[in-house]
Amino acid sequence: MVNKMVNRIRKELTERQGGVLKAIEGFVLEHGFAPTVRELAGLLGIPNPSAAFKHMVSLERKGYLRREGGELRLAGLPTAGENQVRVPLAGLVPAGSPRESFDVSGEAMDIPAWMVGRKRGNVFLIRVAGKSMIDAYIDDGDHVLLERTDAVNSGEMVVALLEDGSVTLKRLRKEDGKVFLMPENPAFQPIEVGGGKVLGRVIGVLRKY
């Protein structure tokens, strides 16, 4: 399997614009869609929504946001054309023993648009730490593309938030009324879960050789 990672992170934003973009990306990561002007103003602690709107306009002009059907979306690089999409990058997620490692990094990556399809605006990336999914061709340091959803089928690979607040990447298995998070490496043990939440379903793997 040959996977190529496109890793171009734009740095033309001011410090304030970078903070605004991080707030928008964090909102998208949590909700699956961009915030309204008023919601963004609340996130930034700005009493006047018109100031938040000006930030949105600036990010749109620089190509970080775009409007589609009246909705605001995270956008790919203007110079990259329509064949790439800019996707928020979340913090490290272990493919091994679960640990607390899931947050918005403030960075983003540009990936091929065909990997996202119509899920644009509802996807995010994580960087994997650990080798429990090596037999599924997911290795330490790989970037995994996920669709934000909690509706998954048995057998799909997911990022799951466990009851203790830790996060892990595993294959979901439902069996005899029980739910297991299965590694793809015989050196690791399955995790039986009685609660927790699925944060996303794996839809792609990106690797730089």
**153 in any annotated domain:** yes
Two structure tokens written together for 143: 């970037």
**5 in any annotated domain:** no
Vertex 114 angle, CA 113 and 116, to 5°: 70
**63 in any annotated domain:** yes
Instruction: List the domain range (segments joined by +) for residue 44.
Output: 15-206
**126 in any annotated domain:** yes
Residue 98 to residue 87: CA distance in whole angstroms: 24
CATH number of the CATH domain containing 114? 2.10.109.10
Per the structure, the count of domains in the chain is 1
3-state SS, 16-28, equals HHHHHHHHHHHHH
Hey, which bits of 75-209 come out as E strands?
84-90, 93-94, 104-112, 123-129, 143-147, 157-161, 167-175, 178-182, 191-193, 197-206
pTM of the model: 0.62
pLDDT band at 1 (very low <50, low <70, confident <90, very high): very low
Return the bridge partners of 73, or none: 66
Q: Looking at the annotation, which residues are catalytic?
A: 132, 170
**93 in any annotated domain:** yes
- For residue 101, pLDDT over 70 is answered with no
Cβ atoms < 10 Å from Cβ of 154: 12
**43 in any annotated domain:** yes
**7 in any annotated domain:** no
Query: What is the per-residue pLDDT across 106-141, written as a single tens digit (0 to 9) for each?
Result: 677 888 777 777 666 678 888 898 899 999 989 998
